[in-house]
Amino acid sequence: MADLEGTDFAEQGTTTTVLHGNDRGPLAFRPVRDAELSVTDVQDNNVSAARHGFAPKAPGNPDLFLSGDGTYRGPADTSLTLSDDTVNNVTKDRHGFAPKLPDDDTVFLNGVGAYVHPSDLDLEITDSTAGDVAVSHHGFAPRLPGDDTLFLNGIGGYTRPVGGGVIPESGSFVVTASGFTAGLTGTAFYYKLGSLVILLLPTLQSTSNSTVFTISGLPAALLPTRVTEHTIGAEDNTMSIIGILVMQAGSGTMAVYANALGGSWTASGQKGSAPSFIVYALI
Q: Of residues 46 and 216, which shows the higher confidence score?
A: 216
- Mean pLDDT, residues 153-178: 86
**pLDDT value of position 251:** 97
Alpha-carbon gap, residue 91 to 99, rounded angstroms: 10
**Cβ within 8 Å of residue 233, ≥6 positions away:** 240, 242, 243, 273, 274, 276
Q: What is the mean pLDDT of residues 217-229?
A: 96
Q: How confident is the model at residue 265 (pLDDT cuts 50, 70, 90)?
A: very high
Q: Would you say residue 215 lies in a domain? A: yes
Residue 9 pLDDT level (bands cut at 50, 70, 90): low
Residue 100 lies in a domain: no
In angstroms, the Cα distances linking 52 to 35, 70, 82, 100, 247 are 19, 11, 28, 38, 105
CB atoms within 10 A of CB 244: 19
Q: How remote is the C-alpha of 104 from its chain's centroid?
A: 22
Parent domain of 244: 169-281
With cut-offs at 50, 70 and 90, classify the pLDDT of residue 163: low
Q: Judge whether 79 lies within some domain.
A: no
pLDDT of residue 7 exceeding 80: no
Q: Could you tell me the CATH number of the domain that includes residue 214? A: 2.60.90.20
3-state helix, strand, coil in the chain (%, to 5): 5, 35, 60
Q: Which residue has the higher pLDDT, 109 or 187?
A: 187
pTM for this structure?
0.46
Cα separation, 68 vs 48, in Å, equals 9
For the stretch 178-200, pLDDT in tens is: 999 999 999 999 999 889 999 99
- Residue 222 forms part of a structural domain: yes
CA 41 to chain centre: 62
pLDDT of residue 161: 74
Residue 196 falls inside a structural domain: yes
The structural domain count of the chain equals 1
Q: Is residue 38 part of a domain?
A: no
The verdict on residue 80 lying in a domain is no
Taking phi first (over 0 means left), then psi (-120 to 50 degrees means alpha), and beta for anything else, what does residue 37 get? beta
**Between 259 and 17, where is the model more confident?**
259
Q: Is the pLDDT of residue 54 over 90?
A: no
Asked whether residue 200 is assigned to any structural domain, the reply reads yes
Torsion of the alpha carbons at 270, 272, 273 and 274, rounded to the nearest 10: -40
